[in-house]
Homo-oligomer: A and B are copies of this chain.
Amino acid sequence: MSDRVVGRLSVYRRLLTELLGRGVANVYSHELADLAGCTAAQVRRDLMAVGSSGTPTRGYAVAGLYERITRYLDSPGGQSVALVGVGNLGRAILAFFSGRRPKLKIVAGFDSDPEKVGRTFSGCRCFSMAEMTSVVREARIDVGIITAPADCAQEVAGALVGAGVKGILNFAPVTIHVAEDVYVEPVDMTVSLERVAFYARRGQDEGSG
């Protein structure tokens, strides 16, 4: 399954939650496509991939769709996340995810600043860097978020992977290198802003975002 499809499934699910809340029972592929900003053909192909099917007259059942996507995307028992670097951005992300997805919860923060260690931010306890290996192993954390400064991001990534993390969301503006079986998703805000500025100046050309 390609990363693009996984991303679209996540978007569909968010839209389905909204439709469920409004009591909508069925949706057509072109309706989801309009809401998600993609094509109806993509929606149908993606939904087939997770084992959902619709009918020509009624489209897809919202509740069934939500259930299928969730079964596909989520781990049944939930997954735990660690966040390393409880600075401005780290705390903003802790606040952002607080209570948002109970099955994918940030259960531990880490920081080298003794002032932050022991405190709780948006319901998440901050530990020292030295405690990382034991905390990650005990809580069976397999996802890490790096909001540490660029100059220590690689070291942090190594420590996370060493403790058992298999996926990293990297906000530090550096390319980190890890073992092949670890998935790294870079979220480089500088790169994103420069790209937006480029297309804002040049006209959209063919930018796909």
Q: Which of B2, B88, B187, B209 contacts A184 (CB 8 A)?
A: B209
A75-B201, A96-B88, A175-B37 are contacts. A143–B183 as well, Cβ < 8 Å? no
Given the complex of chains A and B, what is the CA–CA distance between A117 and B209 in angstroms?
31
Chain B residues with CB under 8 A of A207 = 2-3, 6, 183, 185
Chain B residues with CB under 8 A of A91 = 88, 92
Q: Give how many copies assemble into the complex.
A: 2
A101 and B194 contacting across the interface, CB-CB below 8 Å: yes
Given the complex of chains A and B, what is the CA–CA distance between A207 and B91 in angstroms?
28
Which chain A residues numbered 132 to 162 have a C-beta less than 8 Å away from chain B?
142-143, 145
B192 and A169 contacting across the interface, CB-CB below 8 Å: yes
B143 and A177 contacting across the interface, CB-CB below 8 Å: no
A92-B88, A201-B75 are contacts. A195–B7 as well, Cβ < 8 Å? yes
Nearest CB of B to A119, in Å: 16
Chain B residues with CB under 8 A of A181 = 203-204
Which chain A residues numbered 89 to 119 have a C-beta less than 8 Å away from chain B?
89, 91-93, 95-97, 100-101, 104
Nearest CB of B to A146, in Å: 11
Q: Which of B37, B165, B204 contacts A200 (CB 8 A)?
A: B165
Closest to A13 in B: B194
Per-residue interface assignment for chain A, residues 167 to 202, with 1 indicating a CB less than 8 Å from any chain B CB and 0 otherwise: 111000101010011111111111111111111111
B189 and A185 contacting across the interface, CB-CB below 8 Å: no
Chain B residues with CB under 8 A of A81 = 193, 197
A193 and B145 contacting across the interface, CB-CB below 8 Å: yes
Write the residues of chain A forming the contact surface with B, with a CB cutoff of 8 angstroms.
1-3, 6-7, 10-11, 14, 35-37, 73, 75, 79, 81, 87-89, 91-93, 95-97, 100-101, 104, 142-143, 145, 165-169, 173, 175, 177, 180-209
What are 12 A-B contacts defined by CB distance under 8 Å? A11-B175, A73-B194, A73-B198, A75-B201, A81-B197, A88-B91, A97-B190, A143-B196, A143-B200, A184-B209, A185-B196, A185-B207
